Amino acid sequence: MPPPFGRPPFPPFDPRFGPPPPPYGYEYEDDMEDEVEYEYYIEGEENEELDPEYEVVEEEVISSSSPPSRAVYEMQFEDEQRHGMDSIAIMQDKGGVASKLQNEGDEKAREIGKAERVTEIALKTVKICLNIFIIALLGFACFIFVKFSFDSLSEKERISGEVSQKLSSPQIFKWRLMPTQANAVAKSFYDATGTMEGFVNMVDLMLRGSIDFGGDKKAFYCIKKRDGRSFLKIGAGDEAKCYYINPAGKAWFLQDGGVAGKRVALNEKDSERIRSLVIFDDVLNQRSFPLDGNNTDGVMDSMIEYEGRIEFDGVEHECISTTDLDGRKTMFFVDISTRYISGIKIDRISASVKVVFSQYDTVEENLKMPIKREIFIDSKPYASVVLDMVVKNREMIFPQ
């Protein structure tokens, strides 16, 4: 029978024992006596004898496929042995190359890891530096803001200190009006009723007491501002009536009872009556101590006029006058002995007003004011006011 495909399963060749015996049932070419004939059939057709030439070719193929001799097997075995050794060598070489590649890969991995660590450290360093820069920038901005605030505050304190020094200096409180007889009379009144410093620093004044309208007595409350504004409240509770008087002397009725809300303008005669209840030296004070009183430059002309010596309530007084924003002329009668203002007169077409002041007393610090005043409208008694408290510069609130 023909040998199996490929190399027969011979035992390894050992030169000491000679070539291996043939396998069981195998016969060498010399021992084969009979030729093997093969018949070929074509599926689906009748069996026919093949072409003789084809048979010859087949026989040649069969004869050529006969098993090789022992020497051939030995040569094949040697070749295979050499091939195996070469394969081992190749495998060893491949193993060395693989190991080398592995080492190179590990080295590259280490280098990449090292580079990544360096990059990570660099990024962290940049991040930290950036955070430090931002913090430093914010800190610098805060420092500039705080420094600017303190510098501004210090500048304000410095200016305030300089103003305070100027206010406390005799130079600022010296009489600044021109040396006229009228101005000298006005100065004598302020010297008698207070200090130059007190009048310059006057901001507001609160008057409280009672008012009597010919037997109808009511509560009286007034806030006077240095700029000439006044807020007046007469009565209490639901019966209280409130008024606002502007620097020109015009009055409004405060319908809602407060400094804000709806205002109803009064006619000229009623305005003069309401104004007469609160007026004192208002216009004279504005002429003598203008709101730019902190300015020490130059000498001012106060536009105070000297009217001469005129009798007032049977007693001779020195009379000075000045005109307010509404063109209203007010005459001030200054007692020759006390230098107090005994009264004022205002002549208007709508009404003639006369106010008599008495009972001067020190109300706060060195400030002296008349505690009592009597008001006459068109030479007839209109009302009388008696004060029980006078306060200045206290940021008063007009009561509701």
**Sequential pLDDT tens for the chain (400 residues):** 555 555 555 555 555 555 556 555 555 444 444 544 545 445 444 444 444 454 444 444 444 445 555 565 566 666 666 666 656 556 655 566 667 777 777 777 777 877 778 888 878 888 888 888 888 888 777 777 766 665 554 554 454 444 444 444 444 556 778 889 999 999 999 999 988 888 888 888 999 999 999 999 999 999 998 888 899 999 988 889 999 999 888 999 998 877 777 899 999 999 999 999 999 998 898 888 876 655 555 677 778 999 999 999 999 999 999 988 888 899 999 999 999 999 999 988 888 999 999 999 998 888 999 999 999 999 999 999 999 999 988 766 766 5
pLDDT at 165: 44
Partners of 225 in the beta sheet? Answer: 204
With b for 16 or more beta-carbon neighbours within 10 A and e for fewer, the 197-209 pattern comes to bbbbbbebbbbbb
Tokens of 61: 């193929």
| CA pair distance 41, 50, nearest whole angstrom | 9
Contact 344, 176 (CB under 8 A): no
The reported pLDDT for the residue numbered 50 is 47
pLDDT value at residue 159:
44
Q: Which residues pair with 245 in a beta bridge?
A: 230, 251
Q: Has domain 181-392 been given CATH number 2.50.20.10? A: yes
What pLDDT is stored for residue 315 in this prediction?
94
Strand ranges in 108-254 using DSSP code E only, listed in sequence order: 204-213, 216-225, 230-234, 241-245, 251-254
- For residue 13, the model assigns a pLDDT of 52
What pLDDT does residue 294 have?
Answer: 52
Each residue of 320-378: pLDDT tens digit? 999 888 888 999 999 999 999 999 999 888 889 999 999 999 988 889 999 999 999 99
Distances (CA, A) of 174 to 204, 205, 281, 320: 22, 23, 20, 21
Say what the pLDDT of residue 81 is: 61
The structure tokens listed for 80 are 């295979």
Name the residue among 268, 231, 263 with its Cα closest to residue 250. Answer: 268
Strand extents, DSSP E, 215-297: 216-225, 230-234, 241-245, 251-254, 263-265
* Residue 399 exposure: Cα atoms within 13 Å on the Cβ side: 16
pLDDT in the model for residue 40: 47
Q: CA separation (Å) from 48 to 6, 37, 249, 304?
A: 32, 15, 153, 163
Domain(s) of CATH 2.50.20.10: residues in the chain: 181-392
